[in-house]
């Protein structure tokens, strides 16, 4: 299975650190954010990787190269519309993963290999989002994407096979109420995600985000599984506060 890492955005909320470098190369304890994500994939044997790049993309290409020093094979997809929402970067990746399932992560989401292990254990036959029910620290919750997770018995709009006790995403968004878990930013996608993004764009949404795109999957009856990774380390680094919190956690490990 391939891994796709979104590394295209300009990271304005981390300015001034992102004025002279792309956000994925902002250092955390002396190592670029992107290195932590790459290491997590390789640790789980996912070595065929696609980097979607945009802002100052030449610096990322120069740093990562062909991926050999990480133990990976890295190819690049350029998204010229990197200032648009993040589903545009997902859609750009379709040229590299046109007809297969893949794992999607964000270059600014530090993740542990344990998260990928949980996700891989669920199989690759349906779209899935990793969620955390235990997140409580303000740097994890500030501006987080929330989800409402339901069990199989309460999920009636999905074409997925019924599994006793299985969990699914019923709603997703930053402002939803109520919510009972947080989006970790790691997905397993089938090619259905590209169709969902395309349908939103055809309907007039020229710049959909990932939450809107997976909501379309849910509402169309395709459904979205939940993979509970509560307790595993992850950190979405958007601000200087997030960066300092991540460094404190890593120092304590």
* % of the chain exceeding 90 in pLDDT: 83
Domain ranges of the chain: 2-252
Q: Is the pLDDT of residue 138 over 70?
A: yes
Q: What is the pLDDT averaged over residues 97-120?
A: 96
Q: Is the pLDDT of residue 121 over 80?
A: yes
Q: Is the pLDDT of residue 225 over 80?
A: yes
Q: Is the pLDDT of residue 159 over 60?
A: no
Q: Is the pLDDT of residue 153 over 90?
A: no
pLDDT one-digit tens code per residue, 185-215: 999 999 999 999 999 999 999 999 999 999 9
Q: What is the pLDDT averaged over residues 140-145?
A: 86
Q: Is the pLDDT of residue 45 over 50?
A: yes
Contacts of 53 (CB under 8 A, 6+ apart): 7, 8, 22, 60, 61, 76, 77, 78, 79, 82
pLDDT confidence of residue 157: 47
pLDDT confidence of residue 136: 84
* % of the chain exceeding 70 in pLDDT: 94
Name the pLDDT band for 165 (thresholds 50, 70, 90): low
The average confidence (pLDDT) of the chain is: 92
CATH of 2-252, one of 3.40.640.10, 3.40.50.150, 3.90.1170.30, 3.90.550.10: 3.90.550.10
Name the pLDDT band for 166 (thresholds 50, 70, 90): confident
pLDDT one-digit tens code per residue, 47-84: 999 999 999 999 999 999 999 999 999 999 999 999 99
Q: What is the pLDDT averaged over residues 216-236?
A: 94
Contacts of 206 (CB under 8 A, 6+ apart): 84
């Amino acid at each position: 299975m391939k891994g796709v890492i979104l590394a295209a955005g300009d990271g304005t909320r981390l300015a001034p650190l992102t004025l002279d470098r792309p956000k994925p190369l902002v250092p955390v304890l002396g190592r670029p954010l992107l290195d932590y994500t790459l290491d997590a994939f390789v640790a789980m044997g996912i070595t065929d990787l696609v980097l979607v790049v945009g802002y100052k993309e030449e610096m990322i290409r120069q740093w990562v190269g062909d991926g050999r020093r990480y133990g990976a094979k890295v190819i690049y997809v350029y998204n010229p519309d990197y200032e648009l929402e993040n589903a545009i970067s997902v859609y750009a990746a379709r040229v590299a993963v046109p007809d297969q399932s893949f794992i999607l992560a964000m270059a600014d989401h530090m993740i542990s290999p344990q998260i990928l292990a949980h996700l891989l254990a669920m199989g690759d036959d349906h779209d899935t989002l990793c969620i955390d029910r235990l997140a409580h620290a303000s740097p994890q919750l500030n501006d987080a994407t929330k989800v409402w997770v339901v069990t199989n018995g309460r999920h009636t709009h999905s074409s997925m096979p019924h599994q006793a006790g299985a969990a699914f995403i019923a709603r997703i968004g930053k402002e939803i109420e109520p919510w009972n878990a947080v989006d970790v930013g790691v997905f397993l996608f089938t090619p259905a995600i590209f169709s969902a993004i395309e349908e939103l764009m055809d309907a007039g949404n020229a710049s959909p985000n990932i939450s809107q795109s997976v909501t379309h999957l849910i509402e169309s009856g395709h459904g979205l599984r939940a993979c509970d990774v509560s307790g595993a380390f992850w950190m979405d680094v958007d601000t200087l506060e997030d960066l300092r919190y991540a460094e404190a956690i890593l120092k304590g490990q």
